[in-house]
Amino acid sequence: MYHGTIGSESLKNPLILNSLKQLKIIVEYFPDSRICPYWHTYLIEVNDDDIVKITGSISKEIKHGCFAILWNKKIVFVIFQNKVFQAEIENSQESKEWKIVKEYGKANGVQEEYLDFSKEFKKFNRFTSK
């Protein structure tokens, strides 16, 4: 089972969210965001068998400068517009593997402060451990 986060404002067509199992919706305020100051973050769940199909679908719908992230206990998928990265979750965010993902994100319009993917894990755990 994979869990993840995706912002509805980061999608060209947010109706794709209707086809995903939604666990929670979080509304947050980011006054410095170039996309939108209010974000509706969906905490989602995806079956192992569907992960490749779902990451591909999200990749086609996600806007330039945005990303989504899905993970299980071992693997993380970071989804950008037309590009999906797969990384080992246990590797340090400073590993070569993660640096490639972060550099790609920066080169494709993601603000650097949003490229600390560990925040996504914490966000999910904070809202699901209650």
Tens digits of residue pLDDT in 93-103: 778 888 899 99
Q: What's the confidence (pLDDT) of residue 36?
A: 77
CB 99 within 8 A of CB 87: no
Q: Is the pLDDT of residue 130 over 50?
A: no
**pTM of the predicted structure, to 2 decimals:** 0.86
Write down the pLDDT at residue 90. 76
What integer best gives the mean pLDDT of the chain? 88
CA separation for the pair 72, 76 (Å, rounded): 7
Query: Residues 69-80: pLDDT tens digits?
Result: 999 989 999 999
Per-residue confidence (pLDDT) for residue 6, from 0 to 100: 94
